[in-house]
Chains A and B, each alone.
Chain A
Amino acid sequence: MTRAASRIILDGFILASLLYLPWWITALAAAAGCFLFESFFEAVAFGFIADCLYGVPGRFGGTTFEGTLAASVILGLSLYLRPHLRYYK
């Protein structure tokens, strides 16, 4: 299976998990995507979709973009760490 095909399959799984599975499965899959694939910007898009679907003001000063921010932090971390890790060389 090519890398692009596995990336598409993971995208489909994350999208389905967003609608039908507990949030922590989605979060784990998105985090795995960030470290397995290069520039996994889809993670931020999935975080944004989750915020739009489920986000209600509550914690953190009434923000409704926790998913977007969490995904971008994980993606930013992976973008920063990947060049420094021997595993990816």
Chain B
Amino acid sequence: MNYRLRDSSTKKKSRKVPLIILAAVVLALVATRVFAPAFSSRAIAAIFAPIMRSGDTLARDAAASGDALKSKSDLIAENAELKSELQAAQDELAVSRDLETENGELRDLLGLVRATKETPALVLSKPPLSPYDSLVIEIGSQYQVAAGDRVYADGDILLGEVAEADGPTAKVRLYSNAGTEIDAVIERTGVPQKVVGAGGGNFSIKAPKEVDVKAGDVLVVPSLGRKVLGVVKQVDSEPTDAFQQVLIKSPVNIFQLKWVTIESGDTP
């Protein structure tokens, strides 16, 4: 009895077709990201930004509906607590205004002019939504936000800089993005150090053992008006190693960011 030989070449060819299609699709998409990154980002952001905004609104509505179920005694206690917090904030604000006025007068005396504009922006997405350690904020090029503008939390905590602002939203590259380097100074000693991003609002420094650094030290960026970058959390060193590993954390929790401030224009 004769059996027909199996035609393996046709089978192999049919297996290769999806792989060829995949290669073509990937090449086309990568080429789009390389040669027209702004176009692709703008188009996708235009489609998805309204959905991201609606998600934020839904989350706030859900939180508000939870408040409606609170008991009366809880509300009274919360009201008293908020009143005391408000009083404390008003006191701090009064001191801050005095300092601001004094700062302005001193700047006038020295002839320094502040040529920056600060714009608050709502955070639409933050880590761990993306593996990139980036933020998406709800204002873009229509608010004169441009690539390179600095981004702060709570006024003076440096987070990163605007990477792309070509559409209705802007993307912020956090300085804690793994591998990103920034020059900072240990505020207590004035020793300059190269700080490297370690992801998730963390940084690290590999410094010689002779460098005086301890937990609680604040790192500032002198080129940006002594803005705070992070606080030293831990210093690790081996007896046999000439270097010490310094672990730094941003004072704000980037996973809970709601608002940031964009500083546009020249830094004084």
List chain A positions with a Cβ less than 8 A from chain B.
19-24, 27, 39, 41, 44, 48-59, 64-69, 72, 75-76, 79-80, 83
Contact = CB atoms under 8 A, between A and B. Distances in A.
Contacts of B136: 53-54
Contacts of A22: 128-129
A44 B25 contact: yes
B41 interface: yes
Contacts of A20: 55, 129
Interface string B167-201: 00001110001111000000000000000010000
Contacts of B128: 22-24
25 contacts: A19-B51, A19-B55, A20-B55, A22-B128, A23-B131, A24-B131, A27-B131, A39-B18, A41-B21, A44-B25, A48-B33, A51-B33, A52-B41, A54-B136, A54-B171, A56-B132, A56-B163, A58-B180, A64-B37, A65-B29, A72-B22, A72-B26, A76-B19, A80-B19, A83-B15
B130 interface: yes
Given A49-B48, A52-B41, A76 B22 contact: yes
B26 A44 contact: yes
Contact of B132 (A39, A55, A75): A55
7 tightest A-B contacts by CB? Answer: A54-B130, A52-B44, A56-B173, A56-B163, A22-B128, A58-B177, A65-B33
A79 to B, nearest CB: 5
B124 to A, nearest CB: 9
B116 interface: no
Given A49-B48, A56-B133, 14 more contacts: A19-B48, A23-B130, A39-B18, A48-B29, A48-B32, A52-B40, A52-B44, A54-B125, A55-B41, A55-B171, A56-B163, A56-B164, A58-B178, A75-B22
Assign chain B's interface to a size class. Answer: 35 or more
Contacts of A55: 33, 41, 130, 132, 134, 171
Interface in B93-151: 125, 128-134, 136
Nearest to B51: A19
Given A52-B40, A54-B171, A64-B33, A19 B134 contact: no
Q: Which of A44, A52, A59 has the most CB of B within 10 A?
A: A52
A21 to B, nearest CB: 7
A49 B45 CA distance: 9
B215 interface: no
B25 A41 contact: yes
Nearest to B179: A59
B213 interface: no
Contacts of B134: 54-56
B224 interface: no
Nearest to B19: A79
Given A21-B129, A23-B131, A54-B136, A44 B173 contact: no
B52 interface: yes
A9 to B, nearest CB: 18
A57 B173 contact: yes
A79 B44 contact: no
Nearest to B164: A56
Interface string B1-31: 0000000000000010011011001100110
